Structure 1
Amino acid sequence: MEKKTKIMLVASPGGHFVQLSLVSECLQDMDITVVGTYEDKPSFMYGDRYFKLSDFSRDNAYIAVKVLFECLSIFKKTRPSLIVTTGAAPGLIMLLVGRLFGTKTIWLESIANSRKLSLSGKIAKGLGITVFSQWENVAKLSNVEYHGRVL
Protein backbone atom coordinates (compact mmCIF):
# COMPACT_ATOMS: atom_id res chain seq x y z
CA MET A 1 0.00 0.00 0.00
CA GLU A 2 1.34 3.43 -0.99
CA LYS A 3 1.91 5.91 1.82
CA LYS A 4 -0.07 9.16 1.48
CA THR A 5 1.72 12.51 1.57
CA LYS A 6 1.17 14.19 4.95
CA ILE A 7 -0.01 17.76 4.48
CA MET A 8 -0.84 20.27 7.19
CA LEU A 9 -3.26 23.09 6.34
CA VAL A 10 -3.32 26.05 8.74
CA ALA A 11 -5.62 29.09 8.79
CA SER A 12 -7.20 31.74 10.94
CA PRO A 13 -10.98 32.26 10.90
CA GLY A 14 -13.10 33.72 8.15
CA GLY A 15 -11.80 34.23 4.63
CA HIS A 16 -8.45 32.61 5.40
CA PHE A 17 -10.22 29.37 6.27
CA VAL A 18 -12.63 29.56 3.33
CA GLN A 19 -9.73 29.94 0.89
CA LEU A 20 -7.86 27.07 2.53
CA SER A 21 -10.97 24.87 2.29
CA LEU A 22 -10.82 25.28 -1.50
CA VAL A 23 -7.21 24.09 -1.42
CA SER A 24 -8.23 21.14 0.76
CA GLU A 25 -10.75 20.01 -1.88
CA CYS A 26 -7.86 19.44 -4.28
CA LEU A 27 -5.97 17.37 -1.70
CA GLN A 28 -8.68 14.93 -0.65
CA ASP A 29 -6.50 11.91 -1.49
CA MET A 30 -3.73 13.10 0.85
CA ASP A 31 -3.28 12.61 4.58
CA ILE A 32 -4.50 16.04 5.72
CA THR A 33 -4.15 17.59 9.15
CA VAL A 34 -6.12 20.80 9.61
CA VAL A 35 -5.00 23.38 12.16
CA GLY A 36 -7.13 26.40 12.93
CA THR A 37 -8.36 28.78 15.56
CA TYR A 38 -11.95 27.46 15.59
CA GLU A 39 -12.97 25.16 18.45
CA ASP A 40 -13.81 22.42 15.93
CA LYS A 41 -12.95 21.81 12.29
CA PRO A 42 -15.52 23.57 10.08
CA SER A 43 -17.72 21.11 8.20
CA PHE A 44 -16.71 22.61 4.84
CA MET A 45 -13.04 21.68 5.38
CA TYR A 46 -11.55 18.39 4.23
CA GLY A 47 -9.08 16.76 6.58
CA ASP A 48 -8.42 13.66 8.64
CA ARG A 49 -7.47 15.37 11.91
CA TYR A 50 -8.04 18.77 13.47
CA PHE A 51 -5.98 20.70 16.02
CA LYS A 52 -6.92 24.05 17.58
CA LEU A 53 -4.45 26.92 17.94
CA SER A 54 -4.86 30.13 19.91
CA ASP A 55 -5.42 33.18 17.72
CA PHE A 56 -3.40 36.40 17.88
CA SER A 57 -2.49 39.46 15.85
CA ARG A 58 -0.22 42.50 16.10
CA ASP A 59 -2.55 43.89 18.77
CA ASN A 60 -1.84 41.03 21.19
CA ALA A 61 1.50 39.74 19.88
CA TYR A 62 2.53 38.43 23.32
CA ILE A 63 0.25 35.41 22.64
CA ALA A 64 2.71 34.37 19.89
CA VAL A 65 4.86 32.63 22.52
CA LYS A 66 1.93 30.44 23.56
CA VAL A 67 1.13 29.73 19.90
CA LEU A 68 4.74 28.77 19.25
CA PHE A 69 4.54 26.04 21.89
CA GLU A 70 1.16 24.90 20.58
CA CYS A 71 2.64 24.67 17.08
CA LEU A 72 5.64 22.69 18.29
CA SER A 73 3.34 20.21 20.04
CA ILE A 74 1.08 19.78 17.00
CA PHE A 75 4.04 19.46 14.65
CA LYS A 76 5.65 16.74 16.76
CA LYS A 77 2.38 14.76 16.78
CA THR A 78 1.82 14.98 13.02
CA ARG A 79 5.23 15.37 11.30
CA PRO A 80 3.87 16.72 7.98
CA SER A 81 5.96 16.77 4.82
CA LEU A 82 4.29 20.03 3.67
CA ILE A 83 2.64 22.91 5.53
CA VAL A 84 0.35 25.35 3.68
CA THR A 85 -1.28 28.42 5.18
CA THR A 86 -3.46 31.22 3.89
CA GLY A 87 -2.71 33.22 7.05
CA ALA A 88 -2.75 34.93 9.36
CA ALA A 89 -0.25 35.16 12.24
CA PRO A 90 -0.76 31.64 13.75
CA GLY A 91 -0.16 30.14 10.29
CA LEU A 92 3.11 32.04 10.02
CA ILE A 93 4.26 30.61 13.35
CA MET A 94 3.48 27.07 12.14
CA LEU A 95 5.48 27.71 8.97
CA LEU A 96 8.42 28.85 11.10
CA VAL A 97 8.22 25.63 13.12
CA GLY A 98 8.10 23.66 9.89
CA ARG A 99 11.17 25.45 8.54
CA LEU A 100 13.07 24.63 11.75
CA PHE A 101 12.47 20.93 11.07
CA GLY A 102 13.19 21.10 7.33
CA THR A 103 9.57 20.76 6.21
CA LYS A 104 8.44 22.30 2.92
CA THR A 105 6.35 25.41 3.60
CA ILE A 106 3.98 27.56 1.53
CA TRP A 107 2.39 30.91 2.36
CA LEU A 108 -0.65 31.45 0.11
CA GLU A 109 -1.39 35.15 0.35
CA SER A 110 -5.05 35.99 0.91
CA ILE A 111 -7.09 37.03 -2.11
CA ALA A 112 -7.99 40.16 -0.11
CA ASN A 113 -4.44 41.50 -0.49
CA SER A 114 -4.88 42.78 -4.04
CA ARG A 115 -2.47 45.72 -3.88
CA LYS A 116 0.47 44.60 -1.76
CA LEU A 117 1.83 41.67 0.16
CA SER A 118 0.73 41.45 3.80
CA LEU A 119 3.21 41.94 6.63
CA SER A 120 3.08 38.19 7.37
CA GLY A 121 3.63 37.44 3.68
CA LYS A 122 6.69 39.71 3.67
CA ILE A 123 8.03 38.01 6.81
CA ALA A 124 7.44 34.57 5.26
CA LYS A 125 9.28 35.59 2.10
CA GLY A 126 12.17 36.98 4.15
CA LEU A 127 12.47 33.66 5.99
CA GLY A 128 12.77 31.66 2.79
CA ILE A 129 9.22 30.34 2.82
CA THR A 130 7.66 29.90 -0.62
CA VAL A 131 5.09 32.68 -1.07
CA PHE A 132 2.28 32.72 -3.63
CA SER A 133 0.12 35.75 -4.39
CA GLN A 134 -3.30 35.34 -5.93
CA TRP A 135 -2.81 38.61 -7.81
CA GLU A 136 -0.36 38.76 -10.72
CA ASN A 137 0.51 42.44 -10.13
CA VAL A 138 1.27 41.81 -6.43
CA ALA A 139 3.41 38.81 -7.33
CA LYS A 140 5.46 40.88 -9.77
CA LEU A 141 5.87 43.82 -7.37
CA SER A 142 6.81 41.54 -4.45
CA ASN A 143 8.89 39.04 -6.42
CA VAL A 144 6.79 36.06 -5.31
CA GLU A 145 5.06 33.32 -7.28
CA TYR A 146 1.74 33.61 -9.10
CA HIS A 147 -0.15 30.62 -10.45
CA GLY A 148 -3.72 31.92 -10.45
CA ARG A 149 -6.38 32.40 -7.83
CA VAL A 150 -8.06 30.01 -5.43
CA LEU A 151 -11.32 31.99 -5.56
Structure 2
Amino acid sequence: MKNKKLLFVASPGGHLVQLGLIAECFDDVESVIVSTYKEKPAFLSGDDYRRVDDFSRDNPHLAFKVFMQCFRILRREHPDLVVTTGAAPGLIMVIVGRLLRVRCVWVDSIANSKKLSLSGRIASKLGVSVVSQWKEVAENSNLIYRGRVI
Protein backbone atom coordinates (compact mmCIF):
# COMPACT_ATOMS: atom_id res chain seq x y z
CA MET A 1 0.00 0.00 0.00
CA LYS A 2 2.72 2.42 -0.95
CA ASN A 3 1.86 6.11 -0.69
CA LYS A 4 -1.53 5.32 0.82
CA LYS A 5 -3.00 6.93 3.90
CA LEU A 6 -5.17 5.06 6.35
CA LEU A 7 -7.42 6.55 8.99
CA PHE A 8 -8.18 4.29 11.97
CA VAL A 9 -11.05 5.22 14.30
CA ALA A 10 -12.47 3.63 17.45
CA SER A 11 -14.15 4.31 20.74
CA PRO A 12 -12.14 3.77 23.92
CA GLY A 13 -11.63 0.42 25.61
CA GLY A 14 -11.78 -2.85 23.71
CA HIS A 15 -12.67 -1.18 20.42
CA LEU A 16 -9.44 0.84 20.55
CA VAL A 17 -7.30 -2.11 21.67
CA GLN A 18 -8.53 -4.14 18.68
CA LEU A 19 -7.99 -1.20 16.36
CA GLY A 20 -4.45 -0.75 17.67
CA LEU A 21 -3.67 -4.37 16.81
CA ILE A 22 -5.00 -3.87 13.29
CA ALA A 23 -3.07 -0.61 12.84
CA GLU A 24 0.19 -2.33 13.82
CA CYS A 25 -0.13 -4.47 10.69
CA PHE A 26 0.15 -1.32 8.59
CA ASP A 27 3.20 0.30 10.15
CA ASP A 28 4.70 0.93 6.70
CA VAL A 29 1.76 3.14 5.69
CA GLU A 30 1.01 6.73 6.66
CA SER A 31 -1.76 6.54 9.22
CA VAL A 32 -3.91 8.66 11.48
CA ILE A 33 -5.56 7.33 14.64
CA VAL A 34 -8.86 8.89 15.74
CA SER A 35 -10.41 8.27 19.14
CA THR A 36 -11.97 10.06 22.07
CA TYR A 37 -8.97 10.34 24.41
CA LYS A 38 -7.44 13.80 24.81
CA GLU A 39 -4.04 12.40 23.80
CA LYS A 40 -3.00 9.33 21.86
CA PRO A 41 -2.63 6.36 24.23
CA ALA A 42 0.95 5.09 24.42
CA PHE A 43 0.06 1.61 23.14
CA LEU A 44 -1.07 2.96 19.75
CA SER A 45 1.11 3.27 16.70
CA GLY A 46 0.30 5.72 13.94
CA ASP A 47 1.79 8.89 12.58
CA ASP A 48 -0.82 11.31 13.86
CA TYR A 49 -3.66 11.39 16.36
CA ARG A 50 -6.97 13.23 16.16
CA ARG A 51 -9.65 13.47 18.83
CA VAL A 52 -13.43 13.41 18.50
CA ASP A 53 -16.04 13.55 21.22
CA ASP A 54 -17.62 10.32 22.38
CA PHE A 55 -21.35 9.65 22.36
CA SER A 56 -23.75 6.73 22.45
CA ARG A 57 -27.45 5.94 22.27
CA ASP A 58 -27.72 7.51 25.73
CA ASN A 59 -26.72 10.98 24.45
CA PRO A 60 -27.56 11.10 20.72
CA HIS A 61 -27.71 14.91 20.77
CA LEU A 62 -23.88 14.86 20.45
CA ALA A 63 -24.01 13.03 17.10
CA PHE A 64 -24.10 16.19 14.99
CA LYS A 65 -21.07 17.63 16.80
CA VAL A 66 -19.15 14.40 16.16
CA PHE A 67 -20.36 14.43 12.54
CA MET A 68 -18.78 17.86 12.05
CA GLN A 69 -15.55 16.79 13.79
CA CYS A 70 -15.33 13.74 11.51
CA PHE A 71 -16.05 15.86 8.44
CA ARG A 72 -13.20 18.23 9.31
CA ILE A 73 -10.79 15.36 9.94
CA LEU A 74 -11.61 13.62 6.67
CA ARG A 75 -11.36 16.85 4.66
CA ARG A 76 -7.97 17.63 6.21
CA GLU A 77 -6.47 14.13 6.06
CA HIS A 78 -7.82 12.83 2.72
CA PRO A 79 -7.35 9.14 3.63
CA ASP A 80 -7.53 6.38 1.04
CA LEU A 81 -9.29 4.12 3.51
CA VAL A 82 -11.09 4.42 6.86
CA VAL A 83 -10.92 1.40 9.17
CA THR A 84 -13.03 1.26 12.32
CA THR A 85 -13.85 -1.21 15.05
CA GLY A 86 -16.72 0.98 16.27
CA ALA A 87 -18.67 2.12 18.07
CA ALA A 88 -20.68 5.35 17.63
CA PRO A 89 -17.80 7.68 16.59
CA GLY A 90 -16.63 5.00 14.16
CA LEU A 91 -20.10 4.79 12.65
CA ILE A 92 -20.24 8.55 12.18
CA MET A 93 -16.79 8.48 10.54
CA VAL A 94 -17.88 5.85 8.01
CA ILE A 95 -21.09 7.76 7.30
CA VAL A 96 -19.09 10.91 6.57
CA GLY A 97 -16.52 8.84 4.71
CA ARG A 98 -19.15 7.38 2.42
CA LEU A 99 -20.56 10.87 1.77
CA LEU A 100 -17.05 11.98 0.75
CA ARG A 101 -16.55 8.80 -1.31
CA VAL A 102 -13.83 7.36 0.92
CA ARG A 103 -13.57 3.57 1.08
CA CYS A 104 -14.44 2.25 4.54
CA VAL A 105 -14.09 -1.02 6.43
CA TRP A 106 -16.00 -1.87 9.60
CA VAL A 107 -14.45 -4.61 11.77
CA ASP A 108 -17.14 -5.64 14.21
CA SER A 109 -15.95 -6.06 17.79
CA ILE A 110 -14.89 -9.49 19.01
CA ALA A 111 -17.48 -8.99 21.76
CA ASN A 112 -20.29 -9.44 19.23
CA SER A 113 -20.13 -13.24 19.16
CA LYS A 114 -23.82 -13.94 18.50
CA LYS A 115 -24.93 -11.23 16.09
CA LEU A 116 -23.67 -8.19 14.25
CA SER A 117 -23.74 -4.94 16.24
CA LEU A 118 -26.37 -2.30 15.49
CA SER A 119 -23.66 0.04 14.20
CA GLY A 120 -22.25 -2.76 12.04
CA ARG A 121 -25.70 -3.39 10.57
CA ILE A 122 -26.07 0.31 9.76
CA ALA A 123 -22.59 0.40 8.20
CA SER A 124 -23.40 -2.61 6.01
CA LYS A 125 -26.48 -0.79 4.66
CA LEU A 126 -24.24 2.12 3.63
CA GLY A 127 -22.04 0.05 1.34
CA VAL A 128 -19.25 -0.29 3.88
CA SER A 129 -17.26 -3.54 3.84
CA VAL A 130 -18.16 -5.21 7.13
CA VAL A 131 -16.00 -7.89 8.69
CA SER A 132 -17.05 -10.10 11.60
CA GLN A 133 -14.50 -11.75 13.86
CA TRP A 134 -16.83 -14.72 14.31
CA LYS A 135 -17.29 -17.20 11.45
CA GLU A 136 -20.88 -18.01 12.43
CA VAL A 137 -21.89 -14.34 12.60
CA ALA A 138 -20.28 -13.70 9.22
CA GLU A 139 -22.05 -16.64 7.61
CA ASN A 140 -25.43 -15.76 9.15
CA SER A 141 -25.15 -12.08 8.18
CA ASN A 142 -23.51 -12.54 4.75
CA LEU A 143 -20.35 -10.77 5.90
CA ILE A 144 -16.62 -11.18 5.44
CA TYR A 145 -14.69 -13.39 7.89
CA ARG A 146 -10.88 -13.33 8.02
CA GLY A 147 -10.27 -14.52 11.58
CA ARG A 148 -10.01 -12.72 14.88
CA VAL A 149 -7.90 -9.76 15.86
CA ILE A 150 -7.43 -11.06 19.43
Provide structure 2 residue ranges, at least 5 long, that are not aligned to the other structure: none
CA distance in 2, matches of 1:19, 1:78: 22
Instruction: Give the equivalent residue in structure 2 for 1:48.
Output: 47
Residue 58 of structure 2 aligns to a residue whose secondary structure is helix
Paired residue total? 150
Q: Please name the residue that 2:59 is paired with.
A: 60
**Share of identical aligned residues, percent?**
54
**Residues 3 and 132 of structure 1, relative CA distance in 2, 3 Å threshold:** closer
Paired residue type of 2:40: K
**Partner in structure 1 of residue 129 of structure 2:** 130
Q: Which TM-score applies when normalising by structure 1?
A: 0.97
TM-fit CA distance, 1:116: 0.3
Q: Which letter maps to 1:56?
A: F
| Per-residue deviation, 1:4 | 2.1
RMSD: 1.1
Contact 1:4 1:29 in 2 (8 A): no
Matches of residues 20-35 of structure 1 in structure 2 within 5 Å?
20-35=19-34
C-alpha contact (below 8 Å) 1:8/1:35 kept by paired residues: yes
The answer to whether the 8 A contact 1:132-1:146 is kept is: yes
Structure 2 partner of 1:82 = 81
CA deviations on 1:78-131 (whole Å, 9 max, x unpaired) are: 000000000000001001111111111000000000000000000001111100
TM-score, normalization by structure 2: 0.98
Q: Structure 1 stretches (4+) deviating beyond 6 angstroms?
A: none
Distance in 2 separating the partners of 1:85 and 1:3: 21
Residue identity matched to 2:81 = L
Shift of 1:3: 5.5
